[in-house]
Structure 1
Amino acid sequence: MGIKGLTKLIGDNAPRAINTNEIHSLFGRKIAIDASMCIYQLLVAVRVGADNLTNDEGEVTSHLNGLFYRTIRLLEIGIKPVYVFDGAPPTMKSGELTKRAEAKKAAEEAAKKAREEGDLEMAEKFSRRVNRVTPAMIDSCKRLVRAMGVPAVEAPCEAEAQCAELVKNGDLFATASEDMDSLTFGTSRLIRYLWAGTASTASKKGIKPTEFALDVVLQDLDLTLPQFIDLCILCGCDYVDGIKGVGVVKALNLIRKHGDLQKVVDTLKKEKSYTVPDPYPVEVLRQMFVEPIVTPAKDVVLKWKRPDVNAIKKLMIEENQFDSAKIENGIKRLLAAKQKTSQVRVDSFFKRATAPNEAERAAKRKAVAETNKKSKKSKTQKSSTSTKGRAAKAKKDVT
């Protein structure tokens, strides 16, 4: 789910933080990719009618086909991907996972009914919602990625949190994910539509990567990072539902007015028109984003190696019966692309300008407030003096 309504909130209140560029502008960048999200998208996109691709054993292979070719495409563009895989989900996410499982079950039943009624179009529509990413699929993806010479990082918990850890440490340029909670975990840059932007139809559909800059988001929303995290929780996230009647705009206004989530929750509990979820453990929810379970960046080794051609052929051709000629051609492209990713961007030699830090922003706000206060006081004094003058003149004229 990510953060409910956050994309629109940023678009309406901090549009300067959003930039849409051609995918080739990311040449030379090292990018953390939320692997589980990408695999799910491939299961939806790589199909023959309503069905996934399968091998001779009837096992789904759509994810391998898509991952192989789109990784090659990223490398051909000059992007150096790092795939980060989810670990065990946090306990607090169990409610969201249950909802997703129920939704898939409902879609599966709807697809079955549509097939029985002969409505193939609706059957295909609902079948796309039934996809399940199994441990075996994840393991095969890790094997493929590593055989291609690309780093595969196994997060102890949430992949988005691990991506953010690597980006915050300066090891990588950005996190690529469709979930906006990557910003809540503190990634300095989030790129959406990167994966879709590598598809062969991306140009025709006008799909381009969209970058969100966290420092500009904070500056233009006039929030500190802790306040932004509180805002995201209040909007509704994977760990707790939103509060009915509190949309993203109201959530922003409440955080600005009260300063932090606990004060907002205490205020809303006193009002009969709002029902705050019970429990609503503010400090625990904050810690899920402030101190998530991750492997420290210093302990993560990132190396882009020469592809293991034999390992690729074994997995793709021998075990999963992909067309040998197509895989051979893909390997040629992969080897050629590896040369491109060794090139360095010119701007990597320069330090990137950043938005003002929290202290500077606070000082600026205080200075503006003081100036406005003095200006208002001065106008009041002038108005008072002017009024007295007019009254004295009027008295004199009467006399």
Structure 2
Amino acid sequence: MGIKNLTKLLGDHAPGCCKEQKVENYFGRKVAVDASMHIYQFLVVVGRTGDQTLTSESGDVTSHLQGMFFRTAKMLEVGMKPVYVFDGKPPALKKEELSRRVERRGDATDLLTEAKETGADADIEKYSKRTVRVTPQHNEECRRLLRLMGVPVVEAPSEAEAQCAQMCKEGLVYGIASEDMDSLTFATPKLIRNLMKPQTQNVPINEYDYDKVLEGLNLTSDQFVDLCILCGCDYCGTIKGIGGVTALKLIQKHKRLEDVLASMEGGRYEIPDPFPFEEARRLFKEPDVLKGDSMPQLKWTTADEEGLVQFLVGDKSFNEDRVRKAVQRVNAAKSKSTQGRLESFFGPVSIKTSDTGKRKEPATGKGKGQAAKKGKSGVGVKKK
């Protein structure tokens, strides 16, 4: 779910915290990716027509593998270094929200059955998406795929977004690729949204800077956590009638959520019972994550072409020619990303000549531009 109304609140009250980026700007960057969110998107969108999804010849769903393979290939081809982080055990405080999601899926299943009986195509499309669930098998197949692609995988002890944020804080990655705004509540320095949306959707990449979020809202980090809880998050119920603007005004006035709630006593706002805001606050500020020496090493290796062909073509009925071509482009691009990133920081290298004392640009000085240009020839997500 993320944080309710936070995107609009930041757009209206802290516009300087977000800037539009181009995919080329992430050439050579290490980016942590919330795996489960991406897998869910692929199951909902990739190759879906009504309640039909992409499947192998044996009938296994392959939408998640199709999306994961080609999106990751595109990221690698343009010079990014993705690392996928998978969810671990959810916090006990999130069980109520997870139960609500199961209930909503059950309701959607009933509505989908009715839509099929009446032949309402629009309703079939809508309710079939609501029945989607990421299973352990989906996760395991994507882990196998990513390792064959030479992309590191991290198993979070609990919430993937919290683990991504920790990796960003420790400087292991540049930022987080996620659509959920609660990544900012975990204090990630950089949140990147819409990173690999298809260009046909004409959706800009938005990069949020955590320090500028606090500056724009005129809040401390503790107050920002309280604001997010008051807006509505996965760990607490919501207070009816409290939107983003009202929540911001209340936190700016009272400073602490305890004092905000005290001001509501006997008023028009009804506080849910229970409302475990202190536990929610602790989960955001002290999440269960791997830190320091317990963090696995991140290594990007050459993709295993034959292993991918065996898995995707032999087991999952992918088109062999498309798979091989994508792998070959990925392997060709991997060797360029490191040098390109250095040049983007320091600019072309200048060499001082021995005879005139003047400086001139070497012939290789425009390498970064060439690499970025080549990186645009990406692979889109299409039906097999």
Aligned ranges for residues 118-137 of structure 1 at < 5 Å? 118-137=119-138
Aligned ranges for residues 192-211 of structure 1 at < 5 Å? 192-196=193-197, 199=198, 202=199, 204-211=200-207
Which residue of the partner structure matches residue 272 of structure 1?
267
Partner SS state of residue 182, structure 1: helix
Asked whether the 8 Å contact 2:193–2:206 carries over to 1, the reply is: yes
Counterpart-to-counterpart distance in 2, 1:59 and 1:307: 24
Residue by residue, what CA displacement relative to the aligned partner does 1:190-235 show, whole Å, maximum 9, x if unpaired?
Answer: 0111132xx2xx2x33122101111001011111101100110111
Q: 5+ residue gaps in structure 1?
A: 351-399
Counterpart-to-counterpart distance in 2, 1:297 and 1:159: 17
Which residue of the partner structure matches residue 359 of structure 1?
none
Partner SS state of residue 339, structure 2: coil
Counterpart-to-counterpart distance in 2, 1:348 and 1:292: 33
Which residue of the partner structure matches residue 96 of structure 1?
97
Change (3 A) 1:129 1:182: same
Which of residues 309, 313, 323 in structure 2 aligns to 1:313? 309
Which residue of the partner structure matches residue 381 of structure 2?
none
Aligned ranges for residues 224-373 of structure 1 at < 5 Å? 224-268=220-264, 270-300=265-295, 301-345=297-341, 346-348=343-345
Which residue of the partner structure matches residue 22 of structure 1?
22
Shift of 1:119: 2.1
Asked whether the 8 Å contact 1:38–1:195 carries over to 2, the reply is: no
Asked whether the 8 Å contact 2:236–2:276 carries over to 1, the reply is: no
Which residue of the partner structure matches residue 71 of structure 2?
70
Partner amino acid for 1:237?
Answer: C
Asked whether the 8 Å contact 1:49–1:124 carries over to 2, the reply is: yes
Partner amino acid for 2:8?
Answer: K
Count of residue pairs brought into register by the alignment = 344
Change (3 A) 1:99 1:261: same
Greater relative contact order structure (CA < 8 Å, 6+ sep): 2
Compute the RMSD of aligned alpha carbons: 1.5
Asked whether the 8 Å contact 2:237–2:275 carries over to 1, the reply is: no
Q: Which is helix-richer, 1 or 2?
A: 1
Partner SS state of residue 9, structure 2: helix
Counterpart-to-counterpart distance in 1, 2:261 and 2:177: 32
Partner SS state of residue 2, structure 1: coil
Change (3 A) 1:128 1:340: farther
Q: 5+ residue gaps in structure 2?
A: 348-384
Shift of 1:122: 2.4
Asked whether the 8 Å contact 2:236–2:277 carries over to 1, the reply is: no
TM-score (norm 1): 0.83
Asked whether the 8 Å contact 1:157–1:293 carries over to 2, the reply is: yes
Aligned ranges for residues 385-396 of structure 1 at < 5 Å? none
Partner SS state of residue 165, structure 2: helix
TM-score (norm 2): 0.86
Which residue of the partner structure matches residue 376 of structure 1?
none
Asked whether the 8 Å contact 1:88–1:156 carries over to 2, the reply is: yes
